[in-house]
Structure 1
Amino acid sequence: MLDQKTIDIVKSTAPVLDQHGETLTRHFYQRMFTHNPEVAPFFNPAHQKSGSQQRALAAAICAYAANIDNLEVLGNAVELIAQKHASLHIKPEHYPIVGENLLASIREVLGDAATDDIINAWANAYGFLANILINREAQIYKDNATMPGGWDGFKTFHVMRKERESSIITSLYLTPQDGLALPAFKAGQYITIRMPTPNGSTTMRNYSLSDKPGNDYFRISVKRETPPEANTPAGYVSNMLHDSVNVGDTVELSAPCGEFFFDPSEHHARPLVLLAAGIGITPLMSILLTALDTHKDRDIFLIHGCLDTDVQPFKSTLDKLAQTHSNLHIHYRYSDMKPADIQNAAHSSTGFVDAALIESIIPGRDADYYFCGPKIFMVNIYHQLLDWGIPASQVHFEFFGPRQELDKKAA
């Protein structure tokens, strides 16, 4: 356990870190990639360029400092980080690299304000958190390697099939090269794909599994990432998977990970509500297909918001499912419905996914909610559920960004 002196010093630094957090984390990443370039493949360059990685780390450091005397409140965040680390195959030997560069960055950014007492306290606090994560990650690695069909590290898969889902989304069906059975992942989880880079290194990306467990393949459905703004590159891995990886090629995958998942053993009378925007539909497809198999008498509502039918994936599949499952209720929400779509606008409307739409479709607020999508969608849904007083145990989400940003309610 941490001693009281360490706790007091770390908590006292929380306001300073809140003020200088992003400056510190930007310096940290630049320093680490300069001194330890071997860890660069663990990080997404696009997230570095946009600053989202730096903001996420700054938020995590500030949360740790503010709650170091009550770490139970960070349990969910620790599990999210451990699952992410395990998906990337981060090992105990990587933690000293991060620690050394973080402490050096604190000294270099804060200057004389970073006294020996502060550095020593943060060294103790970092070591304490590192041990928690290392132990949890060791258990995840063990579970992944010992479950039927599981493995450790990265495993080679064949691309057995590619299917165009929309103008910007393509599904890849992946089977293990060794021909062995696949593990029974949890619906909602993701895999990590490791791809070679032009400089002879590798880079990794997480993709949600978009089909239910129990098949003899993994399916990922990948959105082609275009440049978010001028003078920025397109998504390297997503474009490779669309254009350069073909049927018969091989890719490397880590075992499924993630703390966002649906537990089919939990049966409730209240409805199951799945809310998605854009590519956020991918983990919810896995959850939906699993729920339809295991909760045949439960009302299930799926609302999918997207720009238009050109970019919308899985529409024909969902329409067929709605026809064959009387307990499934689907609504499509288009922010830019094309004139041709209006003629076939059954179970659809124009606008954004909001409280009024949700309440017009589900019979009552008491439900289990699973949601995934872009940041503004996530923030709005999260705060709406808070305003409705939905218990935390009934709110489940996959948020790609600092969790603290969920607390900043959108205008």
Structure 2
Amino acid sequence: MLDQQTIEIVKSTAPVLKEHGVTITKHFYKRMFENNPEVRQFFNHTNQKRGRQPEALANTVYAAALHIDRLEAILPAIQPALHKHKSLNIRAEHYPIVGANLLGAIQEVLGEAATPEIIDAWAKAYGVIADIFISLEEKLYDEAPWLGFKSFSIAEIIEETPEVKRFRLVANDGVVGTAVPGQYVSIQARIPGEEILHHRQYSVVETTEDGYWIAPKAEGLVSNWLHNQVIGTEIPVSAPAGEFVLEQTTRPLLLIAGGIGITPLFNMAKTAVRQGRSVTLLHAVRSMSLRPLGDELDELVNEGLQLRTHVDEVSGCLSEKQLEELDFEGHDVYTCGPNAMMETVVRVIPNARYEFFGPSANLVQA
């Protein structure tokens, strides 16, 4: 528990963190990668360059300052990070590294404004926050079918579109755990010419008896590397993770996908259709030739899926007007796709659940 003085000091820093948070977190990552290069492998350096990861962390730190006296308020917001940490095998010993570099970054960016009292208060606050993360992540590890990464092999490759391939990954020890529809696995890539291991998360399109199907789009370092692999390639894979999952209800289901955002929603659609639920899936694409999992979706139509495919050659997204025409009252609604489209979806359908490919961000709903 934090004492009242510490709480008041931390809360008083919220305005400064709101203004300078991204500057602090950018410096934090630079500092940490220089001081502790062993943790570089856990981070997507494309998102680092684009500023997505520093922005996501800045939002988390700011929220922690605002709610330090009732941290339970931010628990829903940190669930994606907890599952991402599980998929990357982040452990308790990594948290002191983050804490030391975060406090150092605050001190170095804010200078004299970061008084000893402020640094001490944030050190105490970080300790409490880290303990919460570690405790919650331990529960996730306890539920996992295996810890860390283990060896899988590529058993089958299907070219879905010129941009997307589907890979069947088979566990070399024969032991797998079922991915709840919507979950993902992390793969570990050792890429020639790269100094560090790289990790990326891919939605599980289907769980098989001996592994998983994933369907990555060829964009980014790891996905392009994966597209160049052949049958028999061994790849370390994590246990399934992710909190964007299909709820087991009898309510009708409305799924709204944009492009490759179909991958987590496909498993939801297939599972729900076979459970006898009413399922409507809207899939926006730039062209029919670029429709991932198209044949599989058409097969689900024969089983009862209500499928609507929308082609927009420019955006590959659904418009606000099209969304407003939907009958979504009484439905469970899930969406995944470009952030701009998801912003529109949650503005029209505020209770829609959504999934980011990459660090969580703030969706602008007004």
SS of corresponding position for 2:119: helix
Query: How many residues are matched?
Result: 365
Matching of residue 217 in structure 1 with residue 211 in structure 2:
yes
**Paired residue type of 1:173:** R
Corresponding residue of 2:179: 185
Q: 1:169-180, aligned counterparts within 5 Å?
A: 169-178=164-173, 180=174
Q: Which runs of 5+ in 2 are unaligned?
A: none
Matching of residue 354 in structure 1 with residue 331 in structure 2:
no
**Whole-Å separation in 1 of the counterparts to 2:70 and 2:287:** 46
Matching of residue 261 in structure 1 with residue 242 in structure 2:
no
**Paired residue type of 1:194:** Q
Corresponding residue of 2:225: 240
How far 1:402 sits from its partner (Å)? 5.6
Query: Which aligned runs of 4 or more in structure 1 are off by greater than 6 angstroms?
Result: none
**Whole-Å separation in 1 of the counterparts to 2:257 and 2:331:** 16
Q: 1:1-20, aligned counterparts within 5 Å?
A: 1-20=1-20
Matching of residue 274 in structure 1 with residue 255 in structure 2:
yes
SS of corresponding position for 2:216: strand
**Whole-Å separation in 1 of the counterparts to 2:81 and 2:317:** 31
**Paired residue type of 1:176:** A
SS of corresponding position for 1:175: strand
How far 1:218 sits from its partner (Å)? 0.2
**Paired residue type of 1:257:** A
How far 1:251 sits from its partner (Å)? 0.3
Asked if structure 1 preserves the Cα contact closer than 8 Å seen for 2:40 and 2:196, the reply is: no
**Whole-Å separation in 1 of the counterparts to 2:209 and 2:282:** 25
Matching of residue 286 in structure 1 with residue 281 in structure 2:
no
Corresponding residue of 1:409: 365
**Whole-Å separation in 1 of the counterparts to 2:94 and 2:162:** 40
Asked if structure 1 preserves the Cα contact closer than 8 Å seen for 2:323 and 2:348, the reply is: no
Matching of residue 380 in structure 1 with residue 337 in structure 2:
no
**Paired residue type of 1:354:** S
The Cα offsets for residues 29-84 of structure 1, whole Å up to 9 and x where unpaired, read as 11111111110000111011111111111111111111212222211122221111
Asked if structure 1 preserves the Cα contact closer than 8 Å seen for 2:324 and 2:348, the reply is: no
How far 1:311 sits from its partner (Å)? 1.5
**Whole-Å separation in 1 of the counterparts to 2:273 and 2:70:** 40
Corresponding residue of 1:231: none
User: Cα–Cα, structure 1 residues 135 and 351, in superposed 2: closer, same or farther, change >3 Å?
Assistant: closer
**Whole-Å separation in 2 of the counterparts to 1:68 and 1:334:** 46
Asked if structure 2 preserves the Cα contact closer than 8 Å seen for 1:375 and 1:400, the reply is: no
Mean alpha-carbon deviation: is it higher for 350-359 or for 314-323?
350-359
Corresponding residue of 1:398: 355
Asked if structure 2 preserves the Cα contact closer than 8 Å seen for 1:152 and 1:254, the reply is: yes
Q: 1:276-355, aligned counterparts within 5 Å?
A: 276-294=257-275, 296=276, 298-325=277-304, 328-336=305-313, 352-355=317-320
Asked if structure 1 preserves the Cα contact closer than 8 Å seen for 2:258 and 2:316, the reply is: no
How far 1:122 sits from its partner (Å)? 0.4
Identity percentage of aligned residues: 41
**Paired residue type of 2:340:** I
SS of corresponding position for 2:354: strand
Corresponding residue of 1:116: 116
Using the size of structure 2 for normalisation, the TM-score is 0.95
How far 1:404 sits from its partner (Å)? 5.0
Corresponding residue of 2:234: 250
**Whole-Å separation in 1 of the counterparts to 2:30 and 2:169:** 36
Asked if structure 2 preserves the Cα contact closer than 8 Å seen for 1:59 and 1:402, the reply is: no
Asked if structure 2 preserves the Cα contact closer than 8 Å seen for 1:359 and 1:365, the reply is: no
**Whole-Å separation in 2 of the counterparts to 1:79 and 1:318:** 30
Asked if structure 2 preserves the Cα contact closer than 8 Å seen for 1:208 and 1:282, the reply is: yes
**Whole-Å separation in 2 of the counterparts to 1:318 and 1:136:** 36
Asked if structure 1 preserves the Cα contact closer than 8 Å seen for 2:87 and 2:240, the reply is: yes
SS of corresponding position for 1:405: coil
How far 1:214 sits from its partner (Å)? 5.2
Asked if structure 2 preserves the Cα contact closer than 8 Å seen for 1:186 and 1:263, the reply is: no
User: Cα–Cα, structure 1 residues 403 and 40, in superposed 2: closer, same or farther, change >3 Å?
Assistant: closer
How far 1:359 sits from its partner (Å)? 4.8
How far 1:320 sits from its partner (Å)? 2.2
**Whole-Å separation in 2 of the counterparts to 1:76 and 1:123:** 23
**Paired residue type of 2:171:** P
The CA RMSD over aligned residues, in Å, is 1.8
**Whole-Å separation in 2 of the counterparts to 1:329 and 1:26:** 45
**Whole-Å separation in 2 of the counterparts to 1:260 and 1:67:** 24
Asked if structure 1 preserves the Cα contact closer than 8 Å seen for 2:282 and 2:308, the reply is: yes
The Cα offsets for residues 198-254 of structure 1, whole Å up to 9 and x where unpaired, read as 24531100111112x4543201100011xxxxxxxxx111111111x1101110001
